[in-house]
Amino acid sequence: MDAGSINSSSSLKAQSRFPLQQQFLPRMNSKENLDRFIPNRSAMDMDYAHFMLTEGRKGKENPTVNSPSREAYRKQLAESLNMNRTRILAFKNKPPAPVELMPQDHSHHHHQPKTAKPRRHIPQTSERTLDAPDLVDDFYLNLLDWGSSNVLAIALGSTVYLWDASDGSTSELVTVDDEDGPITSVNWAPDGRHIAIGLNNSHIQLWDSASNRQLRTLKGGHRSRVGSLAWNNHILTTGGMDGQIINNDVRIRSHIVETYRGHTQEVCGLKWSASGQQLASGGNDNLIHIWDRSTALSNSATQWLHRLEDHTSAVKALAWCPFQGNLLASGGGGGDKSIKFWNTHTGACLNSIDTGSQVCSLLWNKNERELLSSHGFTQNQLTVWKYPSMVKMAELTGHTSRVLYMAQSPDGCTVATAAGDETLRFWNVFGVPEVAAKAAPKANPEPFSHLNRLR
């Protein structure tokens, strides 16, 4: 089981900080009179130090020309300092060149040397940090989402704020009453205009962000808080602390169209596949269920396609692979600490990696075969993995508490993270897509191309 809510904010702190204001870290003035390090010269080997300064750090890439007297001095000094020991198992001579048994005529074939792809630089620090006072430190909630219109939504206590990535402006969408809140989940609809807000009182509100107007409230389905949301076109899927998963058709008055029953504890992770045919759900009962939409439509809504029982702690982190439709990544909580990969057609576990810490969230790179994970104790880090080798490409630190929530920008390059330290950070972790960087401007631009990426 994973630690749930930790009340880390106070009213005094909330009054002293305004939401989504940029933090400016103090920089050290190079002209300040800082404490000097004064060495104990009596304890220093001055001859050895001189040797290392003059000769010891010279490598083959930085050749120098020495006079005979300087060379003799260097050899005598190295001898006295016992620096002439030969390397153990060192190669004395180059191996002989291979004999070419079948001579080839190279006059007609000119093979270009194959150049290795340069390793992409991943910035080690966040490019922007915003205050997020009253952010609820609860592993089971989902309080951050980035919509297709390049607007990021974050729930802070009982209020949803919108941060426009194109100009950095902040606005307040809604503050719910104390008896209804706090807000337990937020999720943008595919159009980037409408947003669903899950509440502690089991209701779900639908809002139009363009007109700042509430459209309707979905109620009667859940018996307790709604901590997870996922859109599939006009279907809004909701997961509650009651263990139920409900498909709501937001176009009709009687909105409940299917109910999935399989979890015995809170549903904290919900993700639809890109095709909209399969739904993955993760719960505090350590289970993952794969639900098939076609099965649900044939009046067998309570029957899952696969029940995956390999995790040993709560499963909140779920991410469908963008380049392989039946590949699902999942992350386990503090008692599990693993990332697992599943073939959702067969239900087989393809691989499992021990990360060493609680896995809070997972995101795939949309442009490269990479996976990003966010973690809790002890490092509260972000880790970039190369798939399928699962070699660590980078570890990014900066948060001082577990990184509970992650969201990806529409272009897939920037990732926003929110943590229990009440900060919202932006990381240029996935870089600029190589294809997009080389592509010439098109006559018909892609949707949302007028929106700037975070810098």
What pLDDT band is residue 118 in, cutting at 50, 70 and 90?
confident
Contact (CB, 8 A) for 288 and 280: yes
Residues 164-178, mean pLDDT to the nearest whole number: 96
Least Cα distance to 331 among 313, 308, 305, 350 occurs for 313
Higher pLDDT pick, 17 / 13? 17
| Mean pLDDT value across the chain | 82
Report the C-alpha gap between 391 and 44 in whole angstroms.
42
Q: Residue 168: pLDDT above 70?
A: yes
Contacts 24+ apart (CB under 8 A), 116-121: 120/368, 120/431, 121/431
Tell me how far CA of residue 37 lies from CA of 40, 41, 45, in angstroms. Answer: 10, 12, 18
Higher pLDDT pick, 119 / 307? 307
Q: Residue 358: pLDDT above 50?
A: yes
Tokens 């909580």 appear where? 333
Of the given ranges (36-40, 48-52, 139-143), which has the lowest mean pLDDT? 36-40
What pLDDT band is residue 41 in, cutting at 50, 70 and 90?
low
Q: For residue 153, what pLDDT is reported?
A: 98
Q: Residue 363: pLDDT above 80?
A: yes
Cβ-Cβ contacts under 8 Å for 9 (sequence gap 6 or more): 133, 134, 135, 157, 422
Q: For residue 79, what pLDDT is reported?
A: 60
Tell me how far CA of residue 156 lies from CA of 22, 315, 335, 435, in angstroms. Answer: 16, 23, 27, 37
Higher pLDDT pick, 193 / 45? 193
Cβ-Cβ contacts under 8 Å for 194 (sequence gap 6 or more): 188, 206, 207, 208, 209, 215
Work out the percent of the chain whose per-residue pLDDT is above 70. Answer: 69
Residues 122-142, mean pLDDT to the nearest whole number: 96
The pTM for the full model equals 0.74
Q: Dihedral, CA atoms, 248, 251, 252, 258, nearest 10 degrees?
A: -20
Q: For residue 338, what pLDDT is reported?
A: 98
Tell me how far CA of residue 224 lies from CA of 156, 162, 177, 221, 288, in angstroms. Answer: 20, 26, 16, 9, 21
Higher pLDDT pick, 93 / 77? 77
Q: For residue 439, what pLDDT is reported?
A: 46
Q: For residue 247, what pLDDT is reported?
A: 96
Least Cα distance to 404 among 297, 317, 285, 311 occurs for 317
Report the C-alpha gap between 244 and 238 in whole angstroms.
8
Higher pLDDT pick, 98 / 275? 275
Contact (CB, 8 A) for 314 and 283: yes
Q: Residue 355: pLDDT above 70?
A: yes
Q: Residue 100: pLDDT above 60?
A: no
Q: Which residues pair with 373 in a beta bridge?
A: 362, 383
Sheet of strand 183-188, all strands in order from the earlier edge strand to the far edge: 183-188, 194-199, 204-208, 213-218
Q: For residue 74, what pLDDT is reported?
A: 63
Q: For residue 114, what pLDDT is reported?
A: 56
Q: Residue 402: pLDDT above 80?
A: yes
Q: Beta strands 278-283 and 288-292: pairing type?
A: antiparallel
Work out the percent of the chain whose per-residue pLDDT is above 90. Answer: 65
Q: Residue 365: pLDDT above 70?
A: yes
Higher pLDDT pick, 51 / 225? 225
What pLDDT band is residue 119 in, cutting at 50, 70 and 90?
confident
Q: For residue 448, what pLDDT is reported?
A: 34
**Helical (H) or strand (E) element with 435:** helix 434-438
Q: Residue 78: pLDDT above 80?
A: no
Q: For residue 229, what pLDDT is reported?
A: 98
Of the given ranges (78-87, 283-292, 388-397), which has the lowest mean pLDDT? 78-87
Of the given ranges (188-202, 297-311, 314-328, 354-368), which has the lowest mean pLDDT? 297-311
Higher pLDDT pick, 401 / 56? 401
Angle at 284 between CA 278 and CA 289, to 5 degrees: 20
Of the given ranges (127-136, 274-283, 426-435), which has the lowest mean pLDDT? 426-435
Q: Residue 55: pLDDT above 60?
A: no
Q: Residue 254: pLDDT above 70?
A: yes
82 backbone φψ class: left, alpha, beta (φ>0; ψ -120 to 50):
left
